[in-house]
Amino acid sequence: MTIQEPATARPAGRPRSEKAEKAIIDATLDLIAEGMGVAELSIEAIASRAGVGKTTIYRRWSNKEDLVADALATLKAPLPPLGGVSVRDDLIILLNAMREDAADARNRCVMNVAMNDADRYPRLLERFLKVAVEPRRQAVRDVIARGVATGELRPEVDVEMGLAILSGAMIWHTKWGPAGDLPEDLAERIVDHVLLGLATCPGAPAARPA
């Protein structure tokens, strides 16, 4: 999966191979999944696993941190389309995407191993947040702000606090909650509980079907 970023001038030479790029991304994720932290991970090891030369990697990524960040970003599914009809429905869609991202045990393992080194590699964290996390945060902000504008949510709602409460609740369940599969209706339950405090009228969210 190719990471989409603002268009920039491509350096002279052969166009990069999407097949080679996928092999590099897969090799990076495989090595991390095997327990190799960012500190131990090397361009040489990635190139060897991917079956490419180091120059092939450096044509796309100038350093290891950017490569790891982009590899981690591929673990995140594309943002789902929103209906735009109700705040409740769109928030459930966005939070359910978070739940599905966390449902894959291998992906969780890779993310945990890589993020353990984030303090030592601030560029890795900065790039990952920019590429993979911030678009999802902004989508939630936009839905909350829209709800304030349409009157579905109270006018004094703090958009950033709403984002923190919603995403924080999902992260708690995916990282620190009870072991086992995440409930299918987890996103719905979180959104309904949060909207009890944010909605114009307490109790406004429709009751979930039995």
pLDDT mean over 95-117? 86
Q: 163 in a domain, yes or no?
A: yes
CATH code, domain carrying 30: 1.10.10.60
Tally of structural domains, the chain:
2
Q: 8 in a domain, yes or no?
A: no
pLDDT mean over 88-103? 92
Q: Are residues 95 and 58 in the same domain?
A: no
Average pLDDT taken over every residue of the chain? 85
Confidence of residue 16 (pLDDT cuts 50, 70, 90): low
**Better pLDDT: 17 or 36:** 36
pLDDT mean over 12-18? 58
Q: 31 in a domain, yes or no?
A: yes
Q: Which of 35-39, 46-50, 66-70 has the lowest average pLDDT?
A: 35-39
Cα 84 to Cα 89: distance, rounded to the nearest angstrom: 8
CATH code, domain carrying 174: 1.10.357.10
Q: Are residues 67 and 91 in the same domain?
A: no
Return the pLDDT at 42: 94
Q: Following CA atoms 44, 46, 52, 55 in sequence, which dihedral angle do they give, to the nearest 10 degrees?
A: -50
Query: Is the pLDDT score of 88 beyond 60?
Result: yes
Q: 4 in a domain, yes or no?
A: no
Q: Are the CB atoms for 24 and 46 separated by under 8 Å?
A: yes
Cα angle 42, 43, 47 (rounded to 5 degrees) comes to 120
Q: Which residue segment(s) compose the domain that 56 sits in?
A: 18-73
Q: Are residues 126 and 45 in the same domain?
A: no
Final residue of a domain: which of 10, 43, 73?
A: 73
Return the pLDDT at 8: 38
Q: Are residues 97 and 173 in the same domain?
A: yes
Q: 150 in a domain, yes or no?
A: yes
Q: Are the CB atoms for 71 and 21 separated by under 8 Å?
A: no
Kindly report, residue by residue over 55-84, the tens digit of the pLDDT: 999 999 999 999 999 999 999 888 999 998
Q: What are phi and psi of 153, to 5 degrees?
A: -115, 160
